[in-house]
């Protein structure tokens, strides 16, 4: 009995030690994808510090400037619904690369904008590339990381927090020189990430069954969605990449939920002040 008890106690300790040892010993593909995720999330708050400069140089009103965030997040939220459909047909690596290429193109075009309407449109295209990359990156990291899904998710969330916090800082540093500089700076960073993923990320296999357009909504509308979420959250062991596994589905929906929450915060913050006043009680106006 004592021997069995000792073995039982040593098993969790050995597992915890192995996970700690494998946390930093990740394949280069994991670090390359995580770094690209940092750059991608930096694009969320990049334009925050340069909004006054954009309004001044492009003769834009506060309402027009706020559309830079509205178009970005609206397209991101809608495009995330079809990302699984795309990645299940062309593979995770190609989806990531297409997303990065789209961001490079539209961030460069944003820096060349001659009017606020053009800039709003280019930010919408930027949001499309961001959706293709962000919604796929977590599933890719989970598939290639060592140490289990928990380790991969920690790395992804660290990249998310780092990117969101560094975005406004980069925008302020480059924007102090020229308001167009943050857009070109992002294009350079994403181009470097594009090259790194081509060289370091192995080709991801296609799934046995392709995702349908209605699957993201249908999966979570079924009666057993609670059981599937619980099973996905309790999965902690890594296996070969599977784009239709419960772990990958949970990772995809978690990313989409996080993006939707961020979109709500930013849209409320950057809505025109007149709309804020209209939402207040009459006694508070």
**Could you tell me the pTM of the whole model?**
0.70
Domain of residue 276: give its range: 26-202+242-284
In a domain, 236, yes or no: no
Domain count, the chain: 1
Q: What sign for the dihedral angle of Cα 156, 157, 162, 165?
A: positive
What is the pLDDT at residue 225? 52
Fill in the DSSP letter of residue 274: H
Per-residue pLDDT of the chain (285 residues; tens, 9 = 90+): 444 444 444 444 444 455 555 566 788 888 899 999 999 999 888 888 999 999 999 999 988 898 999 999 999 999 988 888 888 888 889 999 999 999 999 999 999 999 999 999 999 999 999 999 998 998 888 888 776 677 788 888 899 999 999 999 999 999 989 999 999 999 999 999 999 999 988 887 777 777 776 666 665 555 455 555 555 444 433 333 443 344 444 444 444 444 444 444 444 444 444 333 433 444 444
In a domain, 6, yes or no: no
Fill in the DSSP letter of residue 282: G
In a domain, 121, yes or no: yes
Q: What angle separates helix 116-144 from helix 62-90, to the nearest 10 degrees?
A: 40
Q: 201: which residues sit within 8 A by CB, 6+ positions away?
A: 29, 32, 33, 93, 96, 140, 144
In a domain, 230, yes or no: no
Give the CB-side neighbour count of residue 47, counting CA atoms within 13 A: 25
In a domain, 118, yes or no: yes
In a domain, 115, yes or no: yes
Asked whether 96 and 140 are in contact (CB, 8 A), the reply is: yes
In a domain, 17, yes or no: no
In a domain, 217, yes or no: no
CATH number at residue 149: 1.20.1250.20
d(CA 51, CA 283): 31
d(CA 248, CA 242): 7
């Amino acid at each position: 009995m004592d021997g069995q008890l000792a073995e039982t106690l040593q098993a969790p300790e050995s597992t915890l030690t192995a996970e700690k040892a494998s946390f930093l010993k990740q394949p280069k593909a994991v670090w390359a994808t995580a770094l690209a995720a940092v750059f991608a999330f930096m694009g969320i708050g990049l334009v925050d510090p340069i909004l006054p400069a954009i309004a001044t140089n492009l003769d834009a009103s506060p309402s027009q400037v706020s559309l830079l965030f509205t178009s970005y997040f609206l397209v991101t939220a809608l495009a995330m619904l079809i990302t699984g459909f795309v990645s299940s047909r062309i593979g995770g690596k190609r989806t990531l690369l297409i997303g990065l290429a789209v961001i490079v193109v539209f961030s460069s075009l944003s820096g060349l904008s001659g009017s606020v309407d053009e800039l709003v449109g280019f930010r919408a295209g930027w949001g499309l590339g961001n959706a293709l990359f962000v919604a796929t990156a977590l599933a890719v990291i989970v598939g290639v990381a060592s140490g289990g899904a928990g380790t991969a998710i920690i790395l992804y969330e660290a990249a998310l927090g780092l990117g969101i916090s560094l975005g406004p800082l980069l925008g302020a540093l480059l924007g102090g020189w020229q308001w167009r500089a943050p857009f070109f700076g992002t294009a350079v960073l994403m181009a470097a990430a594009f090259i790194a993923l081509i060289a370091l990320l192995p080709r991801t296999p296609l799934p046995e069954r392709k995702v349908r357009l209605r699957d993201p909504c249908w999966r979570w509308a079924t009666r057993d969605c609670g059981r599937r979420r619980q099973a996905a959250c309790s999965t902690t062991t890594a296996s070969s990449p599977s784009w239709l596994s419960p772990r990958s589905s949970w990772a995809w929906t978690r990313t989409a939920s996080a993006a939707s929450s961020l979109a709500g915060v930013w849209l409320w913050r950057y809505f025109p002040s007149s709309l804020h006043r209209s939402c207040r009680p009459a006694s508070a106006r």
